Chains A and B, each alone.
Chain A
Amino acid sequence: MHEETVYDALTNAHDDAGHWAFGTGFDDPLAGVDTTVPDGVDPADLGAYCLMLGDDALVLAQRLTQWITAAPELEEEVAIGNTGLDLLGQARLLLARAGSVGVLGRSRSLATASIPDEDALAYFRDADEFRCTGLVAAENGDFGQTMVRLLVASTVRLAVFARLRGSRDPVLAAIAAKGVHELAYHRDHAARWVLRLGDGTAESHRRAQAGVDAVWPHLADLFTATDVEARLAAAGVAVDPADVRGEVRDVLTTVLQRATLRVPGWPADVAPRGRAGVHGPELTDLLAPLQGLARQHPAATW
């Protein structure tokens, strides 16, 4: 095709999926993957766990997307967009996995049949059915607080995914193997910003410290296993979040100290809140624009 006819060929090319960046139809993200549930594992547990990890990714992607067209530099627009895309990709796989083992709740009856499971779960659950942590649901704050939160969230998620690569569930293991490379980049990107801001100007230091102080209380809600996580960890499928606490603490302490920031006292663990569906109004506020259009046209496919 001559380059100047690229526009002309638009209507001729729509039968040829190979010409399209994302294909012409909806592709099952788990196509070709062995989705058998490992022996001795309750599919309801597996699906619930996928929702926890998937909702964290979806909600953090939505938070990061709030920065698009508002970031400090064009390079940062690209980096934040990239991080959001990676997380969105992880969310789609994990929600599809939850759907594939039948964990759909009310969402399936609210969404029309042609809507894929990942969208039924993302768009047709209410806030109390989400299983994300308070860390990712919290408001962005300024750029400093956003980067501190990204540092904490990607440090925790990288530690979990690194271990999940050995999961007995082949789907989780595959998602984790792909995700660790993405998360290592996210953590590095956020850590570099925390260094620059902590050790930059007096104002950036003050703001970065305020960001740390605002994010830190969310650590309390991250490391206590839910019953689902405890059962799946015992079965070699999931990671007990308590197992990553030490690594997370080491990484965060190292970065903050190098950034000349004060490391606040580590908050005491509390019983799971976000993982149990207990959220503040900020999650409802975040979901309203995310879900509004899809819910307004429940019979539509996009």
Chain B
Amino acid sequence: MSAPTLDRPAAGSPDEAALQRQFEATIAADHRIEPRDWMPEGYRRTLVRQIAQHAHSEIIGMQPEGDWLLAAPSLRRKAVLLAKVQDEAGHGMYLYSAAETLGADRADLTDKLIERRQKYSSIFNYPTLTYADVGVIGWLVDGAAICNQVPLCRSSYGPYARAMIRVCKEESFHQRQGYELLMTMMRGTPEQRAMVQDAVDRWWWPSLMMFGPPDDDSPNTAQSMAWGIKRHTNDELRQRFVDMTVPQAQVLGVTLPDPDLALDESTGRWRFGAIDWSELQRVISGDGPCNDERIARRRAARDDNAWVTEAATAYAEKHRVH
């Protein structure tokens, strides 16, 4: 017979109504919800889904740049890239830990990723064709991630908010390193400059899609904002990213591949062309250039090394201090 669960009153009971009011008051006061606090199941589920998706993105995101680790063109660049990819593994660990405070389990989440029952950012399904891609990922992809994630440092869920503070600081380093690589390449040979422009051409639109579907097609946004899990709408964040990036592109000396990009003098904001959402749908639904490869590598890391994990567990059991 299972013990009665004291912290989970039956739905609709007077106790639950009081807890719900307390939860809402905490959110309204902009205070943090902590792991032991009562929370609505929908809030918990939404957070687990979002944090797991974020964690998966960090881990899968190691692959496109990791492909250049063995081929980085200088020892300094190799060290910078290795440190960055290592940070991403660390981010994945923080985020899985944050998800575990909500009752999730890392191994189970990893299984869900591998079985394609949970998603990761579709940006990582594009290939990295030249070394300029490493710089452009730092500048645009990490830049977009920062725009998305800095507001999450004020997420209503405490462990997630605290994880995001550290993640954002490190992302900011990555972004600067990416931009610095591009600056160096733009000062280099004509081939290097062409590589940078080509990479910008390929990554610009996918970066804009990182903010998710337009607001009028984003069913979860309203609830997530009401819960303080999300602070700005997708379109607000996307506009902010464009406004910040255009001047950086000018300093760099690259052309953003959008003929409709123009400064709106009245608002000071940059208007941009229509996004091809069918392309995003195609990549999200698994038809991107590298979806299968990304998952296959993650699966191989789990399956090929299962004997290592089993050995570590067996050893710990044998040598447990009783």
Contact across chains for B307 and A207 when beta carbons are under 8 A apart:
yes
Q: Is the CB of B82 within 8 A of A65?
A: yes
Determine if A216 is an interface residue (Cβ-Cβ < 8 Å).
no
Given contacts A26-B76, A69-B301, A294-B74, contact A21 B177 (CB under 8 A): yes
Given contacts A14-B183, A204-B314, 13 further A-B contacts (CB under 8 A): A10-B139, A11-B247, A26-B76, A65-B78, A68-B69, A68-B85, A77-B62, A78-B90, A81-B89, A119-B74, A204-B308, A293-B73, A302-B188
Closest residue of chain A to B249 (Cβ to Cβ) is A11
Give the interface size class of chain B: 35 or more
Count of chain A residues with a beta carbon within 8 Å of a chain B beta carbon: 66
Q: Which residue of chain B has its CB nearest to the CB of A67?
A: B301
Interface secondary structure of B, over-half rule:
helix
Docked-complex contact A71 and B301, CB < 8 angstroms: yes
A1-52 at interface with B (beta carbon < 8 Å): 3-4, 6-8, 10-11, 13-14, 19-22, 24, 26
A200 touches B314 (CB 8 A): yes
Q: In the complex, are the beta carbons of B70 and A294 less than 8 A apart?
A: no
Q: Which residues of the other chain, B, contact A122 by a CB distance below 8 angstroms?
A: 75
Interface string of B298-322 (1 = CB under 8 A from A): 1011001101111110111011000
Q: Which of B82, B251, B308 contacts A81 (CB 8 A)?
A: B82
Q: Are A88 and B82 within 8 A (Cβ)?
A: yes
**Contact (A300, B189) CB under 8 Å given A75-B93, A81-B89:** yes
- Supply 8 A–B pairs (Cβ within 8 Å), ascending by A: A22-B79, A65-B82, A69-B66, A71-B301, A77-B62, A123-B74, A200-B314, A204-B307
Tell me if B150 and A292 are in contact (CB < 8 A): no
Asked if A110 is at the interface of the complex by the 8 Å CB criterion, the answer is no
A89 touches B79 (CB 8 A): yes
Interface string of A87-114 (1 = CB under 8 A from B): 0110110010000000000000000000
Are A203 and B307 in touch, CB under 8 angstroms?
yes
Residues from chain A with Cβ under 8 Å of B241 in the complex: 7
Minimum CB distance partner of B90 in chain A: A78
Enumerate chain A residues within 8 angstroms of B62, measured Cβ to Cβ: 68-69, 77
A19: chain B residues at CB < 8 Å are: 176
Task: Return A98 CB to nearest CB of chain B, in Å.
Answer: 13
Partner of B82, one of A68, A91, A195, A203: A68
* Contact yes or no, A78 B73, CB < 8 A: no
Contact of A197 among B146, B179, B244, B311 (CB under 8 A): B311
Min Cβ gap B105→A in Å is 14
How many residue pairs, one in A and one in B, have C-beta atoms under 8 Å apart? 187
Chain B window 52-80, contacts with chain A (Cβ cutoff 8 Å), 1 for yes, 0 for no? 00000001001100100111111111111
Given contacts A71-B305, A207-B307, A300-B191, contact A7 B143 (CB under 8 A): yes
Interface presence of B277 (CB below 8 A):
no
Contact of B318 among A84, A85, A199 (CB under 8 A): A199
- Residue A196 at the B interface, CB < 8 A? yes
A residues in contact (CB < 8 Å) with B? 3-4, 6-8, 10-11, 13-14, 19-22, 24, 26, 58, 62, 65-66, 68-75, 77-78, 81-82, 84-85, 88-89, 91-92, 95, 115-116, 118-119, 122-123, 142-144, 195-197, 199-201, 203-204, 207, 289-290, 292-294, 297, 299-302
Asked if A300 contacts B192 (CB within 8 A), the reply is yes
Partner of A70, one of B189, B244, B297: B297
Complex: A123 Cα to B77 Cα, angstroms: 13
Given A6-B146, A196-B315: A21 in contact with B173 (beta carbons within 8 A):
yes
Contact with A along B86-105 (1 / 0, CB 8 A): 10011011001000000000
Bound together, the chains give a CA A199 to CA B319 distance in angstroms of 10
Of chain A, the residue at the smallest CB distance from B80 is A22
Most B-side CB within 10 Å, residue of A19, A69, A301 = A69
Q: Which residues of the other chain, A, contact B309 by a CB distance below 8 angstroms?
A: 72-73
Decide if A66 touches B300 in the complex (CB within 8 Å): no
Say how far A245's CB is from chain B's closest CB, in angstroms: 30
Contact A143 B308 (CB under 8 A): yes
Taking the complex as formed, is B175 at the interface, i.e. its CB lies under 8 A from any CB of chain A? yes
The answer on a CB contact under 8 Å between A62 and B70 is yes
Q: What residues of B have a CB within 8 angstroms of the CB of A21 in the complex?
A: 80, 83, 173, 176-177
In Å, the complex CA distance between A58 and B75 comes to: 9
Instruction: Check B184–A195 contact: CB distance below 8 A.
Output: no
